[in-house]
């Protein structure tokens, strides 16, 4: 029977039919775009970058006929161009495309089911991250500036000492400083400013000298030298470094806790994906 031509013909015909059934049908499916409710709901969520099936199901059901036609047309356009691009192999060697796919996968792995933390959890997070919320020491003062360039022939230091006596005799207050001061490139009054901020406006030597002064809202002190000239200072308040209570920073602590929890969940999901692969590291890469 193996030598019968008819048997050979039948076997060849069966092989051709099987090939057509496999590749012909696959080719037909590749050019067939199925548009159903589930497909459109997924499309809407990807477009909005928000994966909330219930919300988008309600939005889809509320669409009128014209809105659904536009939605279908947009999906078909995108799907058609995507399939043609993939058929042409446009994604191969495209690093931007690779990065976009990685970002998309990371986004899909990100869990958005955040559970509102309790006050006990917030307090625990705050206790473990005190340095992030620590309030730096601050100073409140005003100053009278003596500009060395204003009267070059006269010593600015001497002018500053004379100005100090004048301010004391006039019992000048916090709001009187602009009447006596030369024009200063920054601020006149500094309220609850940190040491770094003061240093950025006056320089290190002035900031160090100011921090050594006693608080006295009735007595002008100085003169203190800065990077710009000389200053007479009325230091009215100083707040030491402190750790705030949860009530003061609750909103920030909540946001930070939720962000860290989401990042931890995503990392666990990424690690689970990586665990599905066997990684072989060549010796020349591991050296």
CATH code of the domain in which 218 resides: 3.10.50.40
**Per residue of the chain (287 residues), what is the pLDDT tens digit?**
556 655 455 555 555 554 444 444 444 466 788 888 888 899 898 888 887 888 889 999 999 989 988 989 888 888 888 888 888 887 777 888 778 878 878 777 775 667 789 999 999 999 999 999 999 999 999 999 999 988 775 688 899 999 999 999 999 999 999 999 999 999 999 999 999 999 999 999 999 999 999 999 999 999 999 999 999 999 999 999 999 999 999 999 999 999 999 888 888 888 888 888 887 777 766 65
Residues 139 and 232 in one domain: yes
Q: Is residue 235 part of a domain?
A: yes
Domain ranges, residue 192? 135-239
Nearest to 110 by CA among 252, 260, 269, 227: 269
Query: Where among 239, 256, 278 does a domain terminate?
Result: 239
Residue 23 confidence (pLDDT): 47
List of residues 6+ apart from 146 with CB closer than 8 A:
156, 159, 160, 163, 182, 223, 229, 230, 231, 232
Q: Is residue 119 part of a domain?
A: no
Residues 96 and 161 in one domain: no
Q: Is residue 173 part of a domain?
A: yes
Query: Where among 224, 239, 254 does a domain terminate?
Result: 239
- pTM of the entire structure? 0.55
Q: How many domains does the chain have?
A: 2
Residues 153 and 83 in one domain: no
Report in angstroms the alpha-carbon separations of 156 from 32, 163, 184, 207, 285: 87, 10, 14, 19, 66
Residues 82 and 38 in one domain: yes
């Amino acid at each position: 029977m193996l030598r019968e031509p008819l048997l050979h013909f039948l076997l060849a015909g069966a092989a051709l039919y099987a090939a057509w059934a496999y590749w012909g049908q696959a080719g037909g499916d590749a050019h067939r775009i199925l548009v159903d409710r589930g497909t459109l709901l997924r499309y809407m969520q990807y477009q909005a970058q928000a994966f909330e099936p219930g919300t988008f199901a309600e939005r889809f059901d509320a669409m009128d006929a014209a809105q659904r036609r536009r939605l279908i047309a947009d999906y078909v356009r995108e799907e058609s161009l995507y399939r043609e691009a993939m058929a042409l192999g446009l994604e191969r060697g495209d690093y931007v495309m690779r990065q976009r796919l990685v970002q998309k996968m990371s986004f899909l792995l990100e869990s958005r089911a955040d559970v509102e933390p309790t006050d006990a959890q917030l307090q625990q997070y705050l206790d473990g991250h005190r340095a992030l919320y620590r309030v730096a020491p601050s100073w409140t003062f005003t100053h009278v500036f003596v500009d060395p360039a204003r009267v070059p022939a006269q010593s600015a230091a001497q002018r500053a000492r004379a100005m100090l006596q004048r301010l004391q005799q006039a019992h000048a207050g916090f709001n009187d400083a602009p009447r006596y001061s030369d024009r200063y490139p920054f601020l006149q009054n500094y309220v609850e400013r940190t040491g770094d901020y003061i240093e950025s406006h006056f320089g290190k030597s002035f900031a160090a000298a100011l921090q050594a002064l006693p608080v006295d809202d009735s007595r002008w002190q100085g003169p203190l030298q800065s990077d710009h000239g000389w200053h007479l200072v009325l230091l009215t308040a100083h707040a030491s470094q402190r750790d705030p209570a949860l009530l003061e920073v609750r909103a920030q602590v909540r946001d930070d806790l939720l962000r860290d929890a989401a990042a931890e969940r995503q990392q666990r999901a990424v690690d689970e994906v990586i665990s599905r692969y066997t990684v072989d590291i060549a010796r020349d890469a591991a050296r």
